[in-house]
């Protein structure tokens, strides 16, 4: 990975960490030990995202803003081309979907109690 890609990934990570809406996803990736793999695959698979953008962080941040949270892993890149393979990302995606379901239930219940 190029130095500029690492700098841009750091910008994306800052964006995710600073936004309550996206932080749970970043935290999930870290806890599962695959944040670096995830972002590396996004860059590798979507070089064409750079078209019309000065830096790769712009289209990646736009991706998170436009895709619903259930699809963050599902649509990020083609899993079959990754070093980890399709099954790795499929299993991680299933875990993420369970997390989202539980997280939404928790936040919904918490709001109902007020």
Q: So where are the chain's domains?
A: 3-112
Distance CA 79, CA 73 (A): 9
Write down the pTM of the prediction. Answer: 0.79
pLDDT one-digit tens code per residue, 21-73: 899 999 999 999 999 999 988 887 766 555 556 666 778 888 899 999 999 99
Q: Are the beta carbons of 84 and 29 closer than 8 angstroms? A: no
Residue 110's CB is within 10 A of a number of other CB atoms, namely 9
């Amino acid at each position: 990975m190029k130095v500029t890609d690492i700098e841009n990934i750091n910008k994306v990570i800052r964006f995710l960490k600073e936004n309550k809406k996206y932080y749970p996803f970043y935290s999930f990736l870290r806890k599962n030990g695959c944040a670096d793999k995830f972002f590396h695959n996004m860059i590798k698979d979507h070089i064409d995202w750079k078209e019309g953008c000065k830096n790769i962080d712009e289209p990646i941040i736009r991706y998170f803003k436009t895709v619903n949270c259930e699809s963050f892993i599902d649509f990020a890149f083609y899993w079959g081309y990754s070093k980890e393979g399709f099954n790795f990302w499929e299993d991680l995606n299933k875990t993420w979907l369970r997390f989202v379901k539980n997280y939404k239930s928790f936040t919904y219940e918490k709001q109902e109690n007020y």
